[in-house]
């Protein structure tokens, strides 16, 4: 599985999530740091540091209000 990073708008830096295994879920602490309040955009970067080809899918769910 690739490493998953979210762009933290507050610190203007990519933050790597703990390594995820296939089928796992992760809840992001302080999600408002990663969601653009004007557009609802979340920047996600997938990093594959080894040369092996991989296949995967990504499901993203955002709930709540960003204020």
Count other Cβ atoms within 10 Å, centred on residue 34: 19
What is the reported pLDDT for 5? 93
What is the reported pLDDT for 1? 76
What is the reported pLDDT for 57? 72
What is the reported pLDDT for 37? 86
Count other Cβ atoms within 10 Å, centred on residue 15: 14
Say how many domains are in the chain.
1
What is the reported pLDDT for 25? 80
Structural domain span for residue 2: 1-67
> Which residues have CB under 8 Å from 64's CB, separation 6+?
31
Residues of the chain with pLDDT under 50: none
């Amino acid at each position: 599985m690739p490493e998953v990073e979210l762009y933290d708008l507050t610190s203007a830096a990519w933050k790597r999530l703990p390594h995820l295994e296939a089928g796992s879920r992760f809840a992001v602490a302080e999600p408002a740091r990663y969601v653009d309040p004007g557009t609802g955009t979340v920047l996600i970067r997938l990093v594959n540091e080894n040369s092996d080809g991989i296949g995967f899918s990504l499901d993203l769910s955002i709930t709540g209000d960003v204020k």
